[in-house]
Chains A and B, each alone.
Chain A
Amino acid sequence: MSATIISEESAESVELVDQPSIWSRLIRHPSVVIGGVLIALIVSLVPAAPLITTLDPTDISPRNRNKPPGFETVHRDDEGTKYTVVAHMGTDKLGRDVYSRVIHGAKVSLIVGVSVALISISIGLFTGMLAGYFRLIDAVVMRVMDGLMAIPSILLAIALVSLSGASLLTVIIAIVIPEIPRVVRLVRSIVLTIREEPYVEAAISVGTPTWKILLRHVLPNTIAPLIVQGTFICGSAILLEAILSFLGVGVPPEIPTWGNIMAQGRDLFQIYPHSIFYPGIFLTLTVLAINMLGDGLRDTIDPRMSKEI
């Protein structure tokens, strides 16, 4: 063949298609920016909690019970010297400072949200890939998943707590288990379509071993929708943790979490609404921010799932 024959098409050579990079699209999307900034602020509360609060969130102070927001509470340090602290969000029925409890409570919520998202995505991704790619595994795995999906997380949490006692780990397990089948189904459906793509068949015909096909060709194409799904799981896990704690089957009551604070404010809610109101605001903001970020991510990195297109 003569290399001199340059076809019209190749003569135009390789032109770079000018597409804005993923980052520039991300930082231009309003809900990514708003959600991201809010989440950054809430995450920064965790390391900053000891600096911006002066009181121990678990300190009981009988004389300061049920004080409204803005009340100056009086405390004594170890040497017996008196000092006053303004309770920005009031105190609860045991005289604990709601402000420090809410700020410290962010930690548990975020730990639950992030770990549930990570654990359920990694287990779900692995299982879903196998189920989607191998038909024999599919038949078995999906029936197991159908079974798991039938377990309500609240009942599961109650059962686990009654078996092994309330702890952070129990809560995470109770939320993860019903979440896994949802991820598996998502991953499986993506893998089922990718498996039929000609580029996968091309990889088969150039002799690529199956595990490499899964790793190189299938896995990278599932990541975008999974990141999006991960944010939604994170948001719903935080909510679910609050619900479980509120019901008294979640994290032990002495640990401050938003759900626990609300649970303890429940009896006197009508007279002293502040101990439910403030953790409620933080919970709402956090979940809203995560969902906004998730929506924005979906629009920018995974346009197939976007409603706008």
Chain B
Amino acid sequence: MTTTEQEPVLSVSGLTIDLPRNADRKHAVENISFDVAPGEVVCLVGESGSGKSVIAFSVMGLLASALQVSRGSIKLQGTELTELDDDAMRALRCTRMGMIFQEPMTALNPVMNCGDQIDEVLQEHTDLSSAQRRSKVLAMIEQVHLPDPERMYSAYPHQLSGGQRQRIMIAMALILEPVVLIADEPTTALDVTTQAQILQLIRELQAERQTGVLFITHDFGVVAELADRVAVLKQGQLVEFGTTQQVLANPQHAYTKMLIASVPRHEPPVRRVIADDAPVVLQTENLAKRYVSYGFAGANNVVDAAVDVSIEIRRGETLGIVGESGSGKSTVARCITWLIESSDGKIWLAGDNIAELSKEQLRSLRRKVQIVFQDPYRSLNPRRTVGQSIIEGPMNYGISHREAIADARELMQLVQLDPDGLDRYPHQFSGGQRQRICIARALAMKPDLLVADEAVSALDVSVQAQVLKLLEEIRDRMQLAMLFITHDLRVAAQVCDVVAVMSKGRVVEYGPARELFNNPQHEYTQALFEAAPGRHFEFAR
């Protein structure tokens, strides 16, 4: 749909934005040039810190005051934006350019109902009467395919689901029919099935209105699904810009190639066979977790976070639990690691039913199950050195300080970090490095079962690939059993031997990864696979 003959609606040329003096590099972005034609979707893709959001904010005139556009121009239908003052920019926002953000919950005002928030845009920028505005808002709500517009109008953001909130954001951004829509990772916080619907909605609306879309994402699947042209950013530099077909199928720059190669494939590889007589490390039998909140009239709210979960993991095997948010996958992980108590069912660890064990026995068994969390920035105590964090566990079980430090140095090497880093604090490491430290901390306990709860979800795709590889190497080397919790089907396809798909607290499908991915039986599993973005592209297969 590249309509190069047409005048571009947005054209950015030679854009350079300086960072404050003490930052790690001189420019947030340097010499960036691209344009967006009417009715075209241009994706800015890059890893965290590549400067993609900075570009979006500079177009909207919402840059933090510490950042300054030092060179270059941003033209919206010929109007030079870098020279406009605040008032002129304010008049342009919403009328000629709209923006949607990553987190629809925080981007909406929680104490205003959704209709009034959309209405505010009209109040600011048009002279319509309140009745005209109301009918326009209702029509817009209908266009973003929200059910029952009247009810949606008076609903508050917390009453809506994430996808519905994002639809409200889109309605707000598009109600004045802007020529450019800027979308900053609008589907990153959403489940994969919801993401597919939102992407389809954006596609539909922009084609209908011939809106130019500047879409920011880190996900090549989304790029493949949506983009007409793609700009690849690396640390503030534009390394490649071309049509989606060119960039994805035939990348030129080494960085683009590396990024695309790091995207996990959807097709599970053939895996070595786990011997049938490999000992079962962990087994759950009808595991359940029920949350009950009590009011004056007794139990008034019952939530079954997990129901009848029966799984089994052998030594050397990786079991993946896949599901969308709220499916209960993390609840299962937390029951298994005894961070929360299960309300029903049995957990067998190496032949012992942990429900029947005394506190003392539990404590000695606890070290056999270790967990790595999702957020590398919050899983390490910021006020303790990496070394202190790693040796804490072994020293709890009576290992001497000197021995624990020696072990920790070995572990740092195992996770490919410099052992001298033990004296440093977590903030001195990057996200991927911190996740390696968390893995080292878990391994220091010499566990039988390693639980990875969304352990790579917060990482950039290239770092993610490295950490996944590391996890797999460690599992083979130490003959660990691994429970891998993820929402990302591609990741699950790459690392799991056996996969359990969870939905609404129940395991709906359970079987060897290759069979399950190639021939999903349950309709929910099928829907999940259908929704995975970018499946038609070679790299994603």
Residue interface bits B427-456, CB-to-A below 8 A is 1, else 0: 111101100101001001100000000000
Instruction: Name the one of B337, B338, B429, B463 contacting A14, with C-beta atoms under 8 angstroms.
Output: B429
Interchain CB contact under 8 A, A1 and B474: yes
**Residues from chain A with Cβ under 8 Å of B417 in the complex:** 10, 14
Report which residue of A1, A19, A199, A205 has the largest number of chain B beta carbons within 10 angstroms of its beta carbon.
A205
Interface size on A, residues (CB 8 A): 32
- Considering only residues 1-57 of chain A, those with a C-beta below 8 Å from chain B are 1, 3, 5-10, 13-19
* A-B CB contacts (within 8 Å), total count: 102
CA distance A205 to B452 in the complex (A): 13
Residue interface bits B334-374, CB-to-A below 8 A is 1, else 0: 00011100000000000000000000000100110111011
B210 at the binding interface (Cβ < 8 Å): no
CA distance A19 to B424 in the complex (A): 13
**Residues from chain B with Cβ under 8 Å of A212 in the complex:** 396
B63 at the binding interface (Cβ < 8 Å): no
A220 at the binding interface (Cβ < 8 Å): yes
A80 at the binding interface (Cβ < 8 Å): no
CA distance A76 to B396 in the complex (A): 73
**Residues from chain B with Cβ under 8 Å of A203 in the complex:** 381, 392
**Residues from chain B with Cβ under 8 Å of A10 in the complex:** 416-418, 433, 436
**Residues from chain A with Cβ under 8 Å of B416 in the complex:** 3, 5-7, 10
Interchain CB contact under 8 A, A198 and B432: no
Q: Which residue of B lies closest to A199 (CB)?
A: B381
B159 at the binding interface (Cβ < 8 Å): no
A140 at the binding interface (Cβ < 8 Å): no
Instruction: Name the one of A198, A205, A216 contacting B375, with C-beta atoms under 8 angstroms.
Output: A198
Instruction: Name the one of A15, A19, A202, A209 contacting B379, with C-beta atoms under 8 angstroms.
Output: A202
A267 at the binding interface (Cβ < 8 Å): no
CA distance A198 to B389 in the complex (A): 13
CA distance A17 to B473 in the complex (A): 30
CA distance A15 to B428 in the complex (A): 7
CA distance A206 to B337 in the complex (A): 10
CA distance A8 to B382 in the complex (A): 25
Interchain CB contact under 8 A, B413 and A199: no
Instruction: Name the one of B393, B421, B427, B436 contacting A206, with C-beta atoms under 8 angstroms.
Output: B393
Instruction: Name the one of A1, A16, A19, A205 contacting B369, with C-beta atoms under 8 angstroms.
Output: A205
A93 at the binding interface (Cβ < 8 Å): no
Q: With contacts A201-B373, A202-B371 known, is A14 near B421, CB below 8 A?
A: yes
- Considering only residues 376-435 of chain B, those with a C-beta below 8 Å from chain A are 378-384, 389, 392-393, 396-397, 413-414, 416-418, 420-421, 424, 427-430, 432-433
Interchain CB contact under 8 A, A14 and B375: no
Q: With contacts A8-B462, A205-B337, A208-B393 known, is A14 near B433, CB below 8 A?
A: yes
Interchain CB contact under 8 A, A198 and B373: yes
Residue interface bits B260-277, CB-to-A below 8 A is 1, else 0: 000000000000000000
CA distance A18 to B427 in the complex (A): 11
Instruction: Name the one of A198, A207, A216 contacting B378, with C-beta atoms under 8 angstroms.
Output: A198
Interchain CB contact under 8 A, B441 and A202: yes
Q: Which residue of B lies closest to A18 (CB)?
A: B22
**Residues from chain B with Cβ under 8 Å of A197 in the complex:** 378
Interchain CB contact under 8 A, B396 and A207: yes
**Residues from chain A with Cβ under 8 Å of B420 in the complex:** 14
B477 at the binding interface (Cβ < 8 Å): yes
CA distance A14 to B428 in the complex (A): 7
Interchain CB contact under 8 A, A205 and B339: yes
Instruction: Name the one of A3, A9, A202, A208 contacting B466, with C-beta atoms under 8 angstroms.
Output: A9
* Nearest-Cβ distance from residue A201 to partner chain B, whole angstroms: 5
**Residues from chain B with Cβ under 8 Å of A19 in the complex:** 427
CA distance A6 to B413 in the complex (A): 10
Q: Which residue of A lies closest to B364 (CB)?
A: A207
A221 at the binding interface (Cβ < 8 Å): yes
**Residues from chain B with Cβ under 8 Å of A9 in the complex:** 430, 432-433, 463, 466
A159 at the binding interface (Cβ < 8 Å): no
Report which residue of A5, A198, A208, A212 has the largest number of chain B beta carbons within 10 angstroms of its beta carbon.
A198
CA distance A3 to B369 in the complex (A): 26
Instruction: Name the one of A202, A207, A216, A217 contacting B373, with C-beta atoms under 8 angstroms.
Output: A202
* Nearest-Cβ distance from residue B480 to partner chain A, whole angstroms: 13
- Considering only residues 205-251 of chain A, those with a C-beta below 8 Å from chain B are 205-209, 212, 216-217, 220-221
CA distance A199 to B392 in the complex (A): 12
Interchain CB contact under 8 A, A17 and B378: no
Instruction: Name the one of A3, A18, A204, A207 contacting B413, with C-beta atoms under 8 angstroms.
Output: A3
**Residues from chain A with Cβ under 8 Å of B421 in the complex:** 14
* Nearest-Cβ distance from residue A2 to partner chain B, whole angstroms: 9
* Nearest-Cβ distance from residue A191 to partner chain B, whole angstroms: 14
Q: Which residue of A lies closest to B379 (CB)?
A: A198
Q: Which residue of B lies closest to A194 (CB)?
A: B381
Residue interface bits B462-480, CB-to-A below 8 A is 1, else 0: 1100100010011001000
* Nearest-Cβ distance from residue A27 to partner chain B, whole angstroms: 17
CA distance A253 to B529 in the complex (A): 83
**Residues from chain A with Cβ under 8 Å of B374 in the complex:** 198
Interchain CB contact under 8 A, A207 and B366: yes
CA distance A75 to B433 in the complex (A): 77
**Residues from chain B with Cβ under 8 Å of A14 in the complex:** 417-418, 420-421, 424, 428-429, 433
Interchain CB contact under 8 A, B429 and A209: no
Q: Which residue of A lies closest to B380 (CB)?
A: A199
Q: Which residue of B lies closest to A3 (CB)?
A: B413
Q: With contacts A13-B418, A198-B375 known, is A208 near B392, CB below 8 A?
A: yes
Interchain CB contact under 8 A, B366 and A199: no
- Considering only residues 199-230 of chain B, those with a C-beta below 8 Å from chain A are none
Interchain CB contact under 8 A, B428 and A16: yes
CA distance A205 to B369 in the complex (A): 8
**Residues from chain A with Cβ under 8 Å of B392 in the complex:** 203, 206, 208, 216
Interchain CB contact under 8 A, B378 and A205: no
* Nearest-Cβ distance from residue A304 to partner chain B, whole angstroms: 12
CA distance A271 to B380 in the complex (A): 65
Residue interface bits B4-40, CB-to-A below 8 A is 1, else 0: 0000000000000000001000000000000000000
Interchain CB contact under 8 A, B473 and A1: yes
- Considering only residues 139-179 of chain B, those with a C-beta below 8 Å from chain A are none
CA distance A49 to B474 in the complex (A): 69
CA distance A201 to B396 in the complex (A): 15
- Considering only residues 470-507 of chain B, those with a C-beta below 8 Å from chain A are 470, 473-474, 477
CA distance A10 to B378 in the complex (A): 21
CA distance A205 to B392 in the complex (A): 11
Instruction: Name the one of A16, A201, A209, A217 contacting B339, with C-beta atoms under 8 angstroms.
Output: A201
Instruction: Name the one of B22, B383, B433, B470 contacting A221, with C-beta atoms under 8 angstroms.
Output: B383
**Residues from chain A with Cβ under 8 Å of B380 in the complex:** 199, 202
CA distance A105 to B384 in the complex (A): 43
Interchain CB contact under 8 A, B397 and A216: no
List 28 interface pairs A-B (beta carbons < 8 Å), by A numbering: A1-B473, A1-B474, A3-B413, A10-B416, A10-B418, A14-B417, A14-B421, A14-B424, A197-B378, A198-B379, A199-B378, A199-B381, A199-B389, A202-B373, A202-B389, A203-B381, A204-B339, A205-B338, A205-B371, A206-B393, A206-B444, A206-B445, A207-B366, A207-B367, A207-B396, A216-B381, A216-B384, A220-B381
- Complex A-B, nearest 7 residue pairs according to Cβ-Cβ distance, in ascending order: A206-B393, A198-B373, A198-B379, A1-B473, A14-B421, A10-B416, A7-B466
Knowing that A8-B466, A199-B381, A202-B371 are A-B contacts, what are 19 other residue pairs whose CB atoms are under 8 Å apart, sorted by A's residue number? Answer: A1-B414, A1-B477, A5-B416, A9-B433, A14-B417, A14-B428, A16-B424, A18-B22, A198-B379, A201-B339, A202-B373, A202-B379, A202-B380, A205-B338, A206-B441, A206-B445, A207-B397, A209-B396, A220-B381
